[in-house]
Amino acid sequence: MKHFLSIKDVTDLNQLITNGIAAKRDPFVNIGLGKNKTIGLLFFNSSLRTRISTQKAAQNLGLNVITMNVGQDGWGLEMEEGVIMNGDKAEHVKEAAAVIGSYCDIIGIRSFAGLQDREKDYSEIVFEQFKKYADVPIVNLESATRHPLQSLADCITIEEFKIKQRPKVVLTWLPHFKALPQAVANSFCEWMNPMDVELVITHPEGYDLAPEFVGKGQVIYDQDKALEGADFVYGKNWSSYQHYGQVLTSDPSWMITEAKMALTDNGKFMHCLPLRRNMKVADEVLDGPRSLVIEQAANREWSAQAVLREVLLGL
């Protein structure tokens, strides 16, 4: 695996899931794989699970880890080509990526959508520029449009907890007062499409995701109908793709409650975290036996380890 930017870089999804589960059983079996190698983790945005799980996974493989908050620990980086740099960015990505690539064998990057310019966000300029100038493998720690390490952890979680050969998996939009990116929802759909699941996506009208991510997913605008018979309910808020970055509604009736979960087939609840309690999801769900959010978050370590192993094997 040269880079890990999306599921398109994965040659065998089932094997990658199996490798993640295997890492969970024996975390240090490949500890020599990263010996005398370094991964640099660059965070343009905040992180809790991604930062800690990726660092832990790298250490399980014997990698040295350098973590940097871009714009706080170092200079702000200019991504555009051919600009006059008379603004607030002190260094260009051409030099920065090349220099970091000379220090690190792998670079992980987290950079969110700005939600102002859809074309710019969906061009993934930060990742494309680092890929172009760093000359080392790039790992996506969440981009403007995708969160593949989260999605792999989601696949691992579903594989571990499913009790049907082909479970019904429902991605439901949740209410929020603030505009959030489509990255997690996009990525979840993209990874569920090749899985042996019945994928249903439910959200208010105006919140349709880009068609290339929806794929075979069935879109239902009635949340209650969508939840009927679900084995897994994956909750997430996202802002509008069509009316880019806008919050069209914060309808509280879309919050997941125990009454909503009662519509499922004893379904399990999933969320990438963080989330706002009693706005997106009720305490009774999060603190009850249906919730998999902690197990799901713990699997972030094993998804990262499975991916980093593949990248190391490709060096």
Assess whether 34 and 139 both reside in one domain.
Answer: yes
Is 75 a known ligand-binding residue?
yes
For 234, phi and psi rounded to 5 degrees?
-105, 110
To which H or E segment does residue 140 belong? strand 138-140
Is 272 a known ligand-binding residue?
yes
Is 147 a known ligand-binding residue?
yes
Assess whether 21 and 138 both reside in one domain.
Answer: yes
Give CA separation, 258 vs 222, 267, 272, in Å.
17, 11, 19
pLDDT at residue 136, as a whole number:
98
Is 300 a known ligand-binding residue?
yes
Is 142 a known ligand-binding residue?
yes
Q: Which residue has the tokens 């690539």?
A: 101
Q: What residues pair up with 67 in beta bridges, in sequence order? A: 41
pLDDT at residue 71, as a whole number:
85
Residues 6+ apart with CB under 8 A from 140: 4, 5, 6, 108, 109, 127, 146, 147, 148, 149
Is 276 a known ligand-binding residue?
yes
pLDDT at residue 74, as a whole number:
85
10 Å Cβ neighbour count for 271? 23
Provide the residue range defining the domain that includes 274.
152-296
Assess whether 90 and 204 both reside in one domain.
Answer: no
Q: Which residue has the tokens 């963080």?
A: 274
Is 181 a known ligand-binding residue?
no
Is 50 a known ligand-binding residue?
yes
Is 164 a known ligand-binding residue?
no
Assess whether 205 and 233 both reside in one domain.
Answer: yes
DSSP string, 51-113: HHHHHHHHHHTT-EEEEEETTTTS--EE-STT----SS--EEHHHHHHHHHHH-SEEEEE---
The CATH number for 211's domain is 3.40.50.1370
Is 49 a known ligand-binding residue?
yes
Q: What residues pair up with 219 in beta bridges, in sequence order? A: 201
pLDDT at residue 228, as a whole number:
98
pLDDT at residue 137, as a whole number:
98
pLDDT tens digits for the chain (315 residues)?
999 999 999 999 999 999 999 999 999 999 999 999 999 999 999 999 999 999 999 999 999 999 999 988 989 999 999 999 999 999 999 999 999 999 999 999 999 999 999 999 999 999 999 999 999 999 999 999 999 999 999 999 999 999 999 999 999 999 999 999 999 999 999 999 999 999 999 999 999 999 999 999 999 999 999 999 999 999 999 999 999 999 999 999 999 999 999 999 999 999 999 999 999 999 999 999 999 999 999 999 999 999 999 999 999
Assess whether 197 and 239 both reside in one domain.
Answer: yes
Pairwise CA distance, residues 228 & 263, whole Å: 5
When divided into structural domains, the chain yields a total of 2
Is 25 a known ligand-binding residue?
no
Assess whether 86 and 65 both reside in one domain.
Answer: yes
pLDDT at residue 89, as a whole number:
93
Is 149 a known ligand-binding residue?
yes
Assess whether 135 and 205 both reside in one domain.
Answer: no
SS3 content of the chain, % helix, strand, coil (to 5): 35, 15, 45
